[in-house]
Structure 1
Amino acid sequence: MSETARRVTDVTDAHSNRWKALVFIALAQLMVVLDATIVNIALPSAQQDLGISDGNRQWVITAYALAFGGLLLFGGRIADIWGRKRTFVTGLIGFAAASALGGAAQSEGMLLGARALQGAFGALLAPAALSLLAVMFVDAKERAKAFGIYGAIAGGGGAVGLILGGFLTEYLDWRWTFFVNIPFAIVAAAGAYFVIREPAGGRNRSPLDIPGVLLSTLGLVSLVYGFTRAESDGWSNSVTIGLFVAAALLLASFVFVESKVKAPLLPLRVITDRNRGGVYLSLGLAVIAMFGLFLFLTYYLQVVKGFSPVKTGFAFLPMIVGMITGSTQIGARLMTRVPPRLLMGPGFLTAALGMLLLTQMEIGSSYAGLLLPAQLLLGLGMGTAFMPAMSLATQGVEARDAGVASAMVNTSQQVGGAIGTALLNTIAASATTSYIKDHIASAGSKPQAQLVQLEGMVHGYTSAIWFAVGILVVSAAIAFTLVNAGRPGSTVVSGSGAGAEDEMPVPVIAH
Structure 2
Amino acid sequence: MTSPTTLERSAGPIATAVRWTRAQWLLLMVVCTVLALDGLDVSMVGVALPSIGQELNLGTDALQWIVSAYVLGYGSLLLLGGRLADLLGRRRIFLIALSVFAAASLLGGLVDDPAILIATRFVKGLAAAFTAPTGFSIITTNFAEGRERNKALSIFTTFGASGFSLGLVVGGLMTSLSWRWTFLVSVPIAVLVVILGNRFIPRDTPDATDSGHDIWGAVTLALGMLGLVYTLVSAPDQGWGSVATIAGFIISAAVLAAFAVIENKVRHPLIRFGILREGWVARANLSAVGLFGSYLSFQFIVTLFLQSALGWSPLAMALALLPTGLIVATSAPFADRLINAFGATRLILAGLAAMGLGYVLFLRVGTTPNYALDILPSIILLGIGFALAFPSINVQATAGIKDSEQGLAAGLIQTSTQVGAALVLAVTTAMVSGGQSDGGTVPSAAAMLEQYRPGLVLSAAVAIAALLVAAVPARLRTVALAA
Structure 1 match to 2:74: 68
| Cα 1:112–1:381 shift into 2, 3 Å | same
**Cα distance in structure 1, aligned partners of 2:469 and 2:84:** 31
Contact 2:174 2:181 in 1 (8 A): yes
Structure 2 match to 1:422: 426
Determine whether 1:105 maps to 2:118: no
**Cα distance in structure 1, aligned partners of 2:262 and 2:79:** 15
Match for 1:118 among 100, 118, 124? 124
| Cα 1:14–1:328 shift into 2, 3 Å | closer
| Cα 1:138–1:204 shift into 2, 3 Å | farther
Contact 2:89 2:206 in 1 (8 A): no
| Cα 1:291–1:14 shift into 2, 3 Å | closer
**Cα distance in structure 1, aligned partners of 2:19 and 2:346:** 35
Match for 1:383 among 387, 392, 409? 387
| Cα 1:13–1:201 shift into 2, 3 Å | farther
Contact 1:37 1:161 in 2 (8 A): yes
Structure 2 match to 1:17: 23
Match for 1:457 among 432, 448, 452? 448
Cα deviation code 1:84-138 (max 9, x no counterpart): 1121111111110111111111312221221121111111111111111111121
> Matched residue of 2:211: which SS?
coil
**Cα distance in structure 2, aligned partners of 1:50 and 1:427:** 28
Cα deviation code 1:57-78 (max 9, x no counterpart): 3222222211111111221122
Cα deviation code 1:467-493 (max 9, x no counterpart): 211211111122222668xxxxxxxxx
Over the matched positions of the two proteins, sequence identity in percent amounts to 29
What is the correspondence of 1:85-100 to structure 2 with a 5 Å cutoff? Answer: 85-100=91-106
Cα deviation code 1:401-429 (max 9, x no counterpart): 11121111111111112112211222234
Q: Figure out how many residues of one structure are paired with residues of the other and give that number.
A: 463
**Cα distance in structure 2, aligned partners of 1:196 and 1:210:** 28
What is the correspondence of 1:167-186 to structure 2 with a 5 Å cutoff? Answer: 167-170=173-176, 172-186=177-191
Shift of residue 178, structure 1, vs aligned partner: 0.9
Cα deviation code 1:150-194 (max 9, x no counterpart): 222232332222211111111x11111111111221222222221
Contact 1:361 1:462 in 2 (8 A): no
What is the correspondence of 1:83-482 to structure 2 with a 5 Å cutoff? Answer: 83-170=89-176, 172-197=177-202, 203-208=207-212, 209-273=214-278, 275-326=280-331, 328-329=333-334, 331-430=335-434, 432-433=435-436, 453-481=444-472
**Cα distance in structure 1, aligned partners of 2:211 and 2:198:** 26
**Cα distance in structure 1, aligned partners of 2:30 and 2:473:** 33
Structure 2 letter corresponding to 1:424: T
Structure 2 letter corresponding to 1:319: T
Cα deviation code 1:230-258 (max 9, x no counterpart): 22232112111111112222222222211
Q: When the two structures are superposed, what TM-score results if normalisation uses the length of structure 1?
A: 0.85
Q: Which structure 2 residue ranges, 5 or more long, are not aligned? A: 1-17
Shift of residue 53, structure 1, vs aligned partner: 4.7
Q: Which structure 1 residue ranges, 5 or more long, are not aligned? A: 1-11, 441-448, 485-494, 501-511
**Cα distance in structure 1, aligned partners of 2:479 and 2:340:** 22
**Cα distance in structure 2, aligned partners of 1:201 and 1:367:** 53
RMSD of aligned Cα (Å): 2.5
Shift of residue 339, structure 1, vs aligned partner: 2.9
Structure 1 letter corresponding to 2:225: L
Contact 2:145 2:399 in 1 (8 A): no
Moved more, 332-341 or 78-87: 332-341
Structure 2 match to 1:56: 62
Structure 2 match to 1:35: 41
Structure 2 letter corresponding to 1:211: W
Cα deviation code 1:1-37 (max 9, x no counterpart): xxxxxxxxxxx99732112111111110011122222
Contact 2:398 2:410 in 1 (8 A): yes
Structure 1 letter corresponding to 2:365: M
**Cα distance in structure 2, aligned partners of 1:499 and 1:224:** 26
**Cα distance in structure 2, aligned partners of 1:257 and 1:483:** 31
Structure 2 letter corresponding to 1:471: V
**Cα distance in structure 2, aligned partners of 1:465 and 1:303:** 16
Contact 1:279 1:483 in 2 (8 A): no
**Cα distance in structure 2, aligned partners of 1:350 and 1:498:** 27
